Chain A
């Protein structure tokens, strides 16, 4: 097991397409790091450079303190799980899992011991003699993980391992992967474009966009303290609402005035932080879960927020209400017991302690 360091990592494809534009990242021993971001942001490319499957254009990858730029994949002591599993179709499950060890000339009984152990962890003991084509998607996924576990490598690399599974199985395998990591504690780099997967699995989440890292941090920190508009919008589901407005007032008291005349008082603790931006256009960022129906509360800094529902989606444990302010789509999460009707004005409660103010010029959260 080992730490992984990426230093100023760059990847340029032919035609000068920069897929990864200088990434710095330190991954600690035993850590589970998830790279997340929209399609094409360079997650897979980064992972494949760590694996040695993609040549490094610039910068360094170090595993366990050794720079591995010029070391072939097989000598990097890593194991990778692919999106399509990449099981060897002509080999049984046992042979698939044993292949790496056989090539490394492990003794037979050691191979058997390791495969049996991994099969027990993954609950696939009865499948060991089957061929991959006789397995379900979830079972194949387990075998692919087993192939990684038996090697007992320094680092596990996962590239969207769950995206070929149906929704229910995905949730189940997600828990499975977390369990396996808690058992074997191998340093893991996991790529996904699903932010829920990222939040639930990661010790730290790395949000990437256009080949750069937007923010790195534990899931809760990204959720509560996003650094940029992109992270604020990417993490959380349904996504955060962004509403243009103006900060008005001075160091003694600030108000956020939305175009339509909605006025939201800024919490006094934040006055000093936002004062330099007074009288400038800003973007209010507020999550649907912080825009709710009014109920008695001892929270301070709750502001009235008028809305006229256009679409109502009852989800069971909550009700999503969509409305518009100055043409901007906004959603709110309401208690299912709260009476709402399409077209009937209602006053919602905005938790101003949980809102963010974003500079529309730099897209940074202030």
Chain B
């Protein structure tokens, strides 16, 4: 009898300490999450607030800059009424859609070959693909300028469609290699025996099974391409070929006059497509990230 009570008391005290530890972990988690949220959300919130102010109110140094006294949509209507802004938007959209498509086709095929077909140098090649990702674009744009110029694609969105994949393909291939490598070998062997060719195996087994990885890679390619700044700055000079990122900066800043309200409104509108896409694909994206984390 005494033994029973002793051991049950032991269990209770243990449970008590467990829940105390758990509560402490919760507090730390919440505190750091809130801190992170404040740090990450402050700039967009400030952008939003500023975009609702008139130029006069922005210039006014009196009062708290985080409050809007007379909210106005004039910045938005000016932007949307300006044909140039829509042009930038369309340019960004064309470039991004094409770059994502090119990237995914190349990196899925490359990753499939590198992960599954053992050929001479496949290991070295897989490492090499990743190493190219480590070369920063701020170094690459000088030699690339020569190449793009030689192809006659300077100052053209087609030049951007050509060079962005150099940023996206290596990383996406690397994500996909990790993902494909986590698919058990028996699955391809079963498919081989069931009568699948390599292409059928890729399209009917690997692509559907690796969907979370593909979505993660797609989001990455989309983000890189939508937010690219260095390459368009270097390769595009006239407004009709500019994507949003440099369009906003170059057209809304006239010498040292900053149209702050419109810049903020434009930047917010430019950030909208990635937000929408993230919201749609978030669940898949997280699944893809964690799957990549456990393997490769």
Interface residues of A (CB under 8 A from B): 51-53, 72-74, 78-80, 82-84, 86, 88-90, 99-100, 103-104, 147, 151
Contacts and interface: CB of A to CB of B under 8 A. Distances in A.
Contacts of B186: 82-84, 86
Category for how many chain B residues contact A: 10 to 19
Interface SS, A side: loop
Given A86-B184, A88-B187, A53 B205 contact: no
30 contacts: A51-B193, A52-B192, A53-B189, A53-B192, A53-B193, A74-B194, A74-B195, A74-B196, A78-B193, A79-B193, A80-B189, A82-B190, A86-B184, A86-B186, A86-B189, A88-B190, A88-B205, A89-B209, A90-B208, A99-B191, A99-B194, A99-B204, A100-B193, A100-B194, A100-B195, A103-B195, A103-B196, A147-B190, A147-B194, A151-B194
A99 B200 CA distance: 11
A151 B193 CA distance: 10
A51 B189 CA distance: 10
Given A90-B208, A90-B209, A103 B184 contact: no
Contacts of B193: 51-53, 73-74, 78-80, 100
A340 B208 CA distance: 64
A88 to B, nearest CB: 6
Interface string B205-216: 100110100000
Nearest to B211: A90
Interface of B: 184, 186-187, 189-196, 200, 204-205, 208-209, 211
A147 B193 CA distance: 11
A103 B192 contact: no
Given A88-B205, A90-B209, A103-B200, A82 B189 contact: yes
Contacts of B189: 51, 53, 73, 80, 82, 86
Contacts of B195: 74, 100, 103-104
A23 to B, nearest CB: 21
A84 B192 contact: no
A80 B187 CA distance: 11
A141 to B, nearest CB: 14
